[in-house]
């Protein structure tokens, strides 16, 4: 059990299906043990009740050996050898591409039937692993050749920029930085750059990538490639891209090396387990075959790793080996006890502050106070902004916890830089700290007394919410390397790309964040209220006239529409990039939601029976469309022909009922808008601001539920295509065609 857990924990999640299926092979061995126990107890029929699943998948033919062998005929052979391995190939192929099959000499007898199944599946698993490994080695060798050519162009560009008077004829042909056959040239960088053929610069162009709005416009009007300008900025950009490409390439080599080692270890473990179960000695012969196979004998990956490390240290780390290896092999983030300690402290303080707030409200009978409406209209919305943020962060922390528990590679899906992604404990730390500040600030505003002569409140106390917003914004934009700067800047960049969606390639973080914003409409409206309340309201008297302003009402609608507009524009961009129809249909979903939000808001502001019917109809259609898209497209569920009825073929959660509960919950939570057209917000037992807060919170909960299954579906798509690495754009390309150097 210990090895099984370690084996699973060290797998590359996206390659899980390509690893040896240790669990299934162990299940077959358990069937052999069960059969032996039944035979010893003499409680089973004369022929074992074999599992139908084994014999539906495997046909027992004479490929395993001559079925006429019996215990007597084969006793002499079996005394010295139980199995032997042969290599079979249907057509001429290189030796390393042969398929391995096991000859089992004890092919008769009841127990031998189980063992035939075991060796048949064992061979299938080994050939599967071997084929996958060969394919991946071929891929990395091709990528190494591309990096060679990219480095040749980089060296030529560096020489040209350092001395523009050098002509291409003055430099001999290049030698490559990652030679696939010869040993690495350990000479200094200057000696290597002398070997670069400068005439390569006549045949390459710079690949333009839309990293900013300006570069995106250049790509739109000038194409994806541009002539070399021989500027230092161009050189720095090329160096940065190639450095990133080397880091990602080295990571791929490390994981491929680990893949080979783990599978060899798994075959060793399962064969030793077979020997123990059957009291035979077959592991030696089988493991000798494994050791002599391409999986064990191939050294391309190891040699290539050494060459990549040497080249990276020389050209991207100023020959500083320790620095170069830190960049190539960043240390994994370790859980800090301080984080867990402060999370506990902050949540403990939060509970104490919640109790203090409740006692204060009860002691002063504030719910029946004359200033109750004044507080709920002016102060409560100000603090609800922080509650929305905290609630979203808490649910996101729960998402991360369950993603990690079920081996969903969320860090790769979002494109987080290695070792900078936040775990659920870090998210809990930030959210609990913000919750403590918010609750402490709420206590300061529960003082309902005011100066009778001026009818005003204490200015400092009334500015507490604004001060808290300022603190959050300052921390978010802080340029210093504190409070998870990498994650903060990643969020800012994703938000910027979301806002300027037409000018940026739509990445997963950008559209995922756009969907989060669609569930934070009330938060955006609260930001608008902040501006109105502290800019044009009389905060010293806790009063405002925002609702009486036509401009405020117009922006009240526009602010709610903006997130859906961002997502609609992203869908339009995807239509032109992918040349597919699904993004267009997804864009229609957001357009329908925009219509629903506008009509509901107008109904709340203007009322009227006709407007009520329009709002209900548009909201109903948008809800049906959005629910279908959530469940079928984003979650990949409701598949009629799936082996899991009405779900999908591959599921991560072991309990299938969770998926059906999630679908029902998605529908129920999406219907929260009905309180608007049914006038639930006018209930005497609940203030309108309280109802708005509850509905907004339910939408955040729904979004958190959507998050888990959306990322799960994305993870399974990556698994199906074995996508485990980021696609790093290379700086140079051929002049004639799209092929990169």
- pLDDT tens digits, one per residue of 388-420: 999 999 999 999 999 999 999 999 999 888 788
The whole-number pLDDT of residue 116 equals 85
Which candidate, 630, 605, 627, places its Cα nearest to that of 713?
Answer: 630
The set of residues, in sequence order, having a beta carbon less than 8 Å from that of 457 and lying 6+ positions away, is 447, 450, 451, 540, 541, 542
Give yes or no: residues 636 and 528 share one domain. yes
388 vs 381: CA distance, rounded Å: 10
> Does residue 99 surpass a pLDDT of 80?
no
Mean pLDDT to the nearest integer, 143-160? 88
> Does residue 737 surpass a pLDDT of 60?
no
Long-range contacts of 492-496 (CB under 8 A, 24+ apart): none
Range of lowest pLDDT (191-205, 267-281, 424-438): 191-205
The whole-number pLDDT of residue 704 equals 96
Partnered with residue 99 across adjacent β-strands are: 88
- The helix or strand, by DSSP H or E, that contains position 52, with its residue range, turns out to be helix 52-57
74 vs 57: CA distance, rounded Å: 28
Residue at 173 is within a domain: no
The whole-number pLDDT of residue 197 equals 65
> Does residue 61 surpass a pLDDT of 50?
no
Using an 8 Å Cβ cutoff, are 118 and 107 in contact?
A: no
DSSP conformational letter for 244: H
pLDDT band at 64 (very low <50, low <70, confident <90, very high): very low
Structure tokens at 338: 């301080």
> Does residue 92 surpass a pLDDT of 50?
no
DSSP conformational letter for 740: B
Residue at 241 is within a domain: no
715 vs 723: CA distance, rounded Å: 9
The whole-number pLDDT of residue 405 equals 93
Top-ranked range on mean pLDDT: pick from 77-81, 212-216, 606-610: 606-610
- The helix or strand, by DSSP H or E, that contains position 104, with its residue range, turns out to be strand 99-104
Mean pLDDT to the nearest integer, 331-341? 82
Residue at 458 is within a domain: yes
Residue at 208 is within a domain: no
Give yes or no: residues 285 and 406 share one domain. no
* Neighbour count for residue 336 (Cβ, 10 Å): 12
Using an 8 Å Cβ cutoff, are 487 and 421 in contact?
A: yes
589 vs 629: CA distance, rounded Å: 8
Which candidate, 212, 226, 228, places its Cα nearest to that of 154?
Answer: 228
The whole-number pLDDT of residue 56 equals 32
108 vs 116: CA distance, rounded Å: 10
The whole-number pLDDT of residue 229 equals 74
Which candidate, 193, 170, 136, places its Cα nearest to that of 18?
Answer: 136
What are the pLDDT digits (tens) for 501-541? Answer: 888 888 999 999 999 999 999 999 999 999 999 998 888 88
> Does residue 620 surpass a pLDDT of 50?
yes
| Residue bearing the bigger pLDDT, 721 or 26 | 26
Range of lowest pLDDT (286-300, 628-642, 674-688): 674-688
Using an 8 Å Cβ cutoff, are 119 and 83 in contact?
A: yes
Block residue for tokens 């939570």: 669
Give yes or no: residues 466 and 544 share one domain. yes
- Tell me the C-alpha to C-alpha distance, in Å, between residue 591 and each of 431, 582, 613, 625, 702: 33, 14, 19, 11, 20
Residue at 221 is within a domain: no
Domain housing 11: 2-139+260-294
The whole-number pLDDT of residue 393 equals 97
3-state SS class at 431: helix
Structure tokens at 669: 């939570």
| Residue bearing the bigger pLDDT, 169 or 131 | 131
Across the beta sheet with 225-226, the strand order is: 225-226, 204-207, 732-734
Burial of 332 (0-12, 13-18, 19+ CB in 10 A): exposed
pLDDT band at 313 (very low <50, low <70, confident <90, very high): very high
Residue at 226 is within a domain: no
Query: How many domains is the chain built from?
Result: 2
Using an 8 Å Cβ cutoff, are 492 and 476 in contact?
A: yes
The whole-number pLDDT of residue 390 equals 97
Give yes or no: residues 575 and 664 share one domain. yes
pLDDT band at 334 (very low <50, low <70, confident <90, very high): confident
> Does residue 484 surpass a pLDDT of 60?
yes
Give yes or no: residues 666 and 606 share one domain. yes
Give yes or no: residues 274 and 343 share one domain. no
- Mean pLDDT (the chain, rounded): 82
The set of residues, in sequence order, having a beta carbon less than 8 Å from that of 725 and lying 6+ positions away, is 248, 251, 252, 412
pLDDT band at 544 (very low <50, low <70, confident <90, very high): confident
Give yes or no: residues 698 and 603 share one domain. yes
The whole-number pLDDT of residue 478 equals 94
> Does residue 148 surpass a pLDDT of 70?
yes
Residue at 709 is within a domain: yes
Q: What is the pTM of this model?
A: 0.83
Mean pLDDT to the nearest integer, 222-247? 82
Give yes or no: residues 288 and 341 share one domain. no
> Does residue 663 surpass a pLDDT of 80?
yes
> Does residue 485 surpass a pLDDT of 90?
yes
Share of the chain above pLDDT 90, in %: 46
Give yes or no: residues 452 and 555 share one domain. yes
Give yes or no: residues 530 and 658 share one domain. yes
692 vs 616: CA distance, rounded Å: 18
The whole-number pLDDT of residue 195 equals 47
Using an 8 Å Cβ cutoff, are 601 and 557 in contact?
A: yes
Give yes or no: residues 273 and 387 share one domain. no
Give yes or no: residues 692 and 632 share one domain. yes
* Phi and psi angles of residue 104, each rounded to the nearest 5 degrees, phi first: -105, 120
Structure tokens at 92: 């001429």
Partnered with residue 206 across adjacent β-strands are: 226, 732
Which candidate, 186, 192, 202, places its Cα nearest to that of 155?
Answer: 192
The whole-number pLDDT of residue 659 equals 96
Range of lowest pLDDT (143-147, 324-328, 366-370, 704-708): 366-370
Residue at 169 is within a domain: no
């Amino acid at each position: 059990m210990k090895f099984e857990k370690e084996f699973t924990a060290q797998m590359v999640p996206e390659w899980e299906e390509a690893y040896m299926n240790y669990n299934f092979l162990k299940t077959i061995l358990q069937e052999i043990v069960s059969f032996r126990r039944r035979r010893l107890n003499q409680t089973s029929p004369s022929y074992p009740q074999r599992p139908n699943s084994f014999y539906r998948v495997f046909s027992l033919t004479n490929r395993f050996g001559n079925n006429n062998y019996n215990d007597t005929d084969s006793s002499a052979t079996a005394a010295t050898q139980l199995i032997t391995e042969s290599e079979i190939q249907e057509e001429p192929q290189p030796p390393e591409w042969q398929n391995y099959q096991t000859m089992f000499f004890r092919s008769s007898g009841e127990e031998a039937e189980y063992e035939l199944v075991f060796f048949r599946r064992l061979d299938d698993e080994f050939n599967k692993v071997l084929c996958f490994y060969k394919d991946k080695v071929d891929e990395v060798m091709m990528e190494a050749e591309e990096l060679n050519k990219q480095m040749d162009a980089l060296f030529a560009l560096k020489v040209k920029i350092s001395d523009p008077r050098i002509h291409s004829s003055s430099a001999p042909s290049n030698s490559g930085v990652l030679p696939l056959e010869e040993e690495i040239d350990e000479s200094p960088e200057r000696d290597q750059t002398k070997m670069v053929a400068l005439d390569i610069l006549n045949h390459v162009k710079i690949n333009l990538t839309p990293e900013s709005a300006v570069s995106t416009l250049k790509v739109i009007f000038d194409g994806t490639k541009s002539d070399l300008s021989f500027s230092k900025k161009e050189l720095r950009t090329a160096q940065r891209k190639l450095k990133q490409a080397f880091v990602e390439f080295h990571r791929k080599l490390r994981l491929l090396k680990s893949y080979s080692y783990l599978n060899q270890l798994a075959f060793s473990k399962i064969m030793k387990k077979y020997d123990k179960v059957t009291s035979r000695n077959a592991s030696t012969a089988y493991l000798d075959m494994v050791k002599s196979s391409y999986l064990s004998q191939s050294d391309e990956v190891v040699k290539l790793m050494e060459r990549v490390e040497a080249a990276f240290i020389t050209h991207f780390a100023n020959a500083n080996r320790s620095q170069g290896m830190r960049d190539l092999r960043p240390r994994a983030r370790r859980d800090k006890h301080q984080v867990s300690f402060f999370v506990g402290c902050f949540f403990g303080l939060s509970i104490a502050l919640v109790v203090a707030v409740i006692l204060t409200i009860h002691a002063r009978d504030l719910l029946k106070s004359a200033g109750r409406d004044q507080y709920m209209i002016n102060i409560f919305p100000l603090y609800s902004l922080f509650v929305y943020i905290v609630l979203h962060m808490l649910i996101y922390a729960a998402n991360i916890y369950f993603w990690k528990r079920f081996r969903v590679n969320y860090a790769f899906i979002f494109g987080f830089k290695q070792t900078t992604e936040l775990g659920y404990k870090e998210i809990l730390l930030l959210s609990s700290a913000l919750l403590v500040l918010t609750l402490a600030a709420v206590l300061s505003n529960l003082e309902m007394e005011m100066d009778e002569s001026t009818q005003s409140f204490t200015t400092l106390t009334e500015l507490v919410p604004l001060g808290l917003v300022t603190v959050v914004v300052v921390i978010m934009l802080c340029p210093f390397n504190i409070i998870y700067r990498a994650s903060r800047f990643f969020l800012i960049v994703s938000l910027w790309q979301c806002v300027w969606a037409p000018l940026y390639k739509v990445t997963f973080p950008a559209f995922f964040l756009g969907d989060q914003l669609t569930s934070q409409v009330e938060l955006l409206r609260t930001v608008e209220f902040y501006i109105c309340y502290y800019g044009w309201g009389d905060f010293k008297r806790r009063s405002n006239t925002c609702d009486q302003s036509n401009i405020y009402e117009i922006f009240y609608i526009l602010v709610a529409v903006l997130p859906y507009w961002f997502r609609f524009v992203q869908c339009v961009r995807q239509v032109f990039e992918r040349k597919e129809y699904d993004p267009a249909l997804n864009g229609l979903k957001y357009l329908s939601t925009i219509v629903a939000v506008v009509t509901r808001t107008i109904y709340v502001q203007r009322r009227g029976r006709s407007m009520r019917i329009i709002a209900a109809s548009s909201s109903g259609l948008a809800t049906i469309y959005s629910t279908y898209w959530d469940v079928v497209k984003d979650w990949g569920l409701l598949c009629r022909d799936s082996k899991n009825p009405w779900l999908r073929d591959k599921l991560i959660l072991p309990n299938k009922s969770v998926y059906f509960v999630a679908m029902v919950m998605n529908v129920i939570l999406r219907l929260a808008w009905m309180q608007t057209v049914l006038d639930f917000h006018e209930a005497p037992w609940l203030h309108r601001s309280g109802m708005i807060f509850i509905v907004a919170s339910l939408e955040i909960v729904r979004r958190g539920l959507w998050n888990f299954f959306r990322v799960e579906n994305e993870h399974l798509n990556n698994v199906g295509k074995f996508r485990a690495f980021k696609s790093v754009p290379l700086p140079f390309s051929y002049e004639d065609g799209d092929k990169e150097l």
